[in-house]
Structure 1
Amino acid sequence: MVIQILAIVVALGLLIFLAYRGYPVIIIAPIVTLLAVILSGGHLLPSYTETYMTFAANYIKAFFPIFLLGAVFGKVMEMSGAAASIAKTIVKSLGSKQAILAVVLACSALTYGGVSLFVVAFAVYPFAAAIFKEADIPKRLLPGTIALGAFTYTMDALPGTPQIQNIIPTNYFGTDTYAAPIMGIIGAIIVFTGGMLWLERRRKQAVANGEGYGDGHINEPESAEQQNLPNFWLSLVPLILVVAFNFAFSRSAISVKHWYDGSMLKETFNIADVSTVTSSWSLIVALAIGIIAAMLLNVGRIKVKLASGLTAAAMGSLLAIFNTASEVGFGNVVKTLPGFSVIQNWVFNASGNPLVSEAVAVNVLAGITGSASGGLSIALEVMGNHYLQVAESVGITPEMLHRIASMASGGMDTLPHNGAVITLLAITGLTHRQSYKDIFAITVLKTVTVFIIAFGTSLFI
């Protein structure tokens, strides 16, 4: 049994190491998966074609429309200048005296409105750098500030957020994106407050030490003031439409679950419970409306570069979903191996509280894979049904499981090898040595918060 456990540990370690070194997950995930199968004495080809590929394909089937439409929406908002207009207006409205708060709120507005995290970082950076320079705040604090606004509470805690980390649990727990709103709002308040206190403390320390924005930085943006951007209020319209229609199609009288006859869905499409697809359907329609609105409001700005922009969005969405699906395939093969039962028992026995146990599992896997969506998908594919059964037996609702799982995915995911962290540092022209300390502080805060919420919730059950 020791060898079989080591087979899983070695395979997972190789996946992390090779991904960190820049090797494509799409290629290395099946290789390390088959290595684990060989070391465990399993059946090589059936494990690959019938388990790995089946679950990877199922994940793509379930989530590709959201990955694609989310990427297109973000790209259209970027090409039209709408994302930059929103960022610039919020940053400039609050001014240099509230520079950190302004950047956090600008990132939050875009992320909660459905713009992808990477687009947010690109859109906000020029204005964030300008206002940090005006306020003479060290540039090294900028990545942590953007991370707080884009990679935390608007990604996974606030109810209704259209980010994929809030969509994935709906397929496993039959919930929607507004699951456990009170838990999510409390968690968001803790993360926002704690993050702002940390960043302001760091700013005051820099002032006391006589440190300013600094000189000799690379990737400094051109003057943001000279950009001809669309009207702020018009730029907000697509974001508002996505949020509003996502809610309407999820929880109102016009919910997509009422659009089709239940017996027809079961007989023709094998959908036994329409609630398992309601969240995906509502977000698909909401994003489509947002894309159309963004294009119509800015036709003149995007028509020249629309073809190239859509191509870039499509390619980006394909890479993102195939990377995540590859990790899902890896997780589902691993759960069939003999050594996994020992690991599974360790995770389940980490706490008698299924919320805490779930938080441990998702956090660990998100940290190991360096991916919130990847770690979340593996954890729920492998252990989601178990958590659901245990939770229902002790009076914990699927909505609570959803919110804890979503928030836990945004915990240790931002370790140094995380792709979003590496991209953010590249955009800002800074290094791990200069800026990762603040990102790590936000990471610890996110992780602690989800356990506070999980333990706190258990006191009232």
Structure 2
Amino acid sequence: MSFLICVAALALLMFVAYRGFSVILFAPIAALLAVFLTDPAAVPGVFSGVFMEKMVGFVKLYFPVFLLGAVFGKVIELSGFSKSIVAAVIGFVGRERAILSIVLVCVILTYGGVSLFVVVFAVYPFAAELFRQGDIPKRLIPGTIALGAFSISMDALPGTPQIQNIIPTTFFGTDTWAAPILGLVGSAFIIAAGVTYLEWRRRSAGDEGYGENHSNEPEAFKDEALPNPWIALLPLVLVGVMNKVLTWAIPAYYGPTYNLTLGHADKPLPVPVTPLVAIWAVEGALIIGILSVLAFAFRPVSEKFAEGTKAAVGGSLLASMNTAAEYGFGGVIATLPGFQVIADALKQIPNPLVNEAVTVSTLAGITGSASGGLSIALATMAEQFKTAASASGIPMEVLHRIASMASGGMDTLPHNGAVITLLAVTGLTHRQSYGDIFAVTVIKTTAVFVAIGFYYATGFY
């Protein structure tokens, strides 16, 4: 019975997310309903002592990353840099390689720190124009954008500043550059398999063409003066470089602990630095990226900065609170007797890396969120993963990369917020385009096990 209560709570959260209801509202409802069915008297204590503590703890750690990432993406958009990068990549790769061009643009923007939601809006008009000119079915656009924006630059490429690559650092004591070889192997597999699949879908469409009477069609792309693409790329490069530099410099300067002595405090306040290095490094890199955009494009950005940043702040608040609510939900579920049944079942998977990958991917799929599923899995089972890995001589960097990559696999089920947004922006339906998004999801999930196999075969990470 206790197991069924946990499953029912997870099913309820998945159902309301799929139906478009707010996870912020229903995550505590689903969690506390499970507590009520287990022990009604425990509901107030669990809400204040577990759910709120977990949710607030997540916001405390990660909200600045969400906020700075959203602001950086917005100034990149307002400056015209995103359009310039898109146009330059298309010109370099060639319009005849429309699918590869759009995939590479999405990878560059997201790896440079631009929010994947911003990338969807920025890239879609160009994708529509290229697909129209190339007589490629419009229904393939969501799968193409998903391959570029929701895949390797989100969680596989070493150093990516996306939240899915940051969350494991606080559990495993790693940095965002953990296990770079495994990340690159997985990335190569995803891009090769993904582009091959989409090109096959393009060829199998025959003479279907772009199609007519589509919804949300963007205006035809107009030739306009765009910023120099090398200048447009500079802020993205700076974010990547400074992330690496600060990852090294912060612990070298502060040491493992910083004693804060401000005002007339009777004794210093110790601030642990080691668990926060990756977060501080990404935050510092994003700040430098924002300042560099302002330095090169102050006039166009300043004209719409007030309204643009309001939208960015609103989006970051919603995204962070959604994930924090799911994190609180996971903390509550982990206290229930039924969760121990789930944990014991997952423990039966003997290989620690496969165990971690299956656990993270399953929870990401159930919650419809890579960061949410990853947070729930690590909040409840990180110590178990670490113990099993240590017993097998597996470095924490490998645990980090496998967990991060696994979170971005089955998360893109139909109820995923990014999938729903992508289809809404492109004016397509699940029936028309979700099959290709799911194919990318399967490829991403397979890539995790390719990376695990590579590690055991070579020992390289």
- Rounded to whole Å, the distance in 2 between the matches of 1:436 and 1:163 is 24
- 1:91-102 paired onto structure 2 within 5 Å: 91-102=90-101
Match of 1:233 among 230, 233, 240: 230
Following superposition, the deviation at residue 298 of structure 1 comes to: 1.1
Following superposition, the deviation at residue 259 of structure 1 comes to: 2.3
Distance 1:403 1:265, change over 3 A: farther
Following superposition, the deviation at residue 455 of structure 1 comes to: 3.6
Amino acid in the other structure paired with 2:252: H
Following superposition, the deviation at residue 261 of structure 1 comes to: 4.6
Q: Provide the residue aligned with 2:394 in structure 1.
A: 396
Following superposition, the deviation at residue 385 of structure 1 comes to: 1.3
C-alpha distance after superposition, 1:85-144 (max 9, x if no partner): 111221233222111111111111101100010111111111111111111111111111
Q: In the alignment, is the contact (CA less than 8 A) between 1:356 and 1:455 conserved in 2?
A: no
Amino acid in the other structure paired with 2:218: P
Q: Provide the residue aligned with 1:356 in structure 2.
A: 354
Matched, 1:260 2:254: yes
Q: In the alignment, is the contact (CA less than 8 A) between 1:95 and 1:131 conserved in 2?
A: no
Amino acid in the other structure paired with 1:378: I
- 1:125-164 paired onto structure 2 within 5 Å: 125-164=124-163
Distance 1:71 1:9, change over 3 A: same
Following superposition, the deviation at residue 262 of structure 1 comes to: 3.9
Distance 1:269 1:88, change over 3 A: farther
Q: CA RMSD in A?
A: 1.4
- Percent sequence identity is 53
- Rounded to whole Å, the distance in 2 between the matches of 1:227 and 1:430 is 28
Following superposition, the deviation at residue 20 of structure 1 comes to: 1.2
Match of 1:36 among 13, 34, 37: 34
Q: Provide the residue aligned with 1:374 in structure 2.
A: 372
Following superposition, the deviation at residue 452 of structure 1 comes to: 2.4
- Rounded to whole Å, the distance in 1 between the matches of 2:138 and 2:22 is 31
- 1:21-420 paired onto structure 2 within 5 Å: 21-41=19-39, 43-206=42-205, 209-251=206-248, 255-265=249-259, 268-272=268-272, 274-349=273-348, 351-420=349-418
Distance 1:225 1:263, change over 3 A: closer
Following superposition, the deviation at residue 268 of structure 1 comes to: 4.2
- Rounded to whole Å, the distance in 2 between the matches of 1:262 and 1:196 is 44
Amino acid in the other structure paired with 1:415: L
Amino acid in the other structure paired with 1:443: T
Distance 1:310 1:263, change over 3 A: closer
Moved more, 46-55 or 295-304: 295-304
- Rounded to whole Å, the distance in 1 between the matches of 2:213 and 2:91 is 24
- Rounded to whole Å, the distance in 2 between the matches of 1:357 and 1:261 is 34
Aligned residue for 1:414, secondary structure, equals coil
Q: Segments of 4+ in structure 1 off by > 3 A?
A: 261-272, 458-461
- Rounded to whole Å, the distance in 2 between the matches of 1:261 and 1:24 is 41
Aligned residue for 2:374, secondary structure, equals helix
Aligned length: 452
- Rounded to whole Å, the distance in 2 between the matches of 1:268 and 1:419 is 44
Aligned residue for 1:169, secondary structure, equals helix
Q: In the alignment, is the contact (CA less than 8 A) between 2:166 and 2:279 conserved in 1?
A: yes
C-alpha distance after superposition, 1:165-192 (max 9, x if no partner): 0001001000000000010000000000
Length-normalised TM-score, structure 2? 0.95
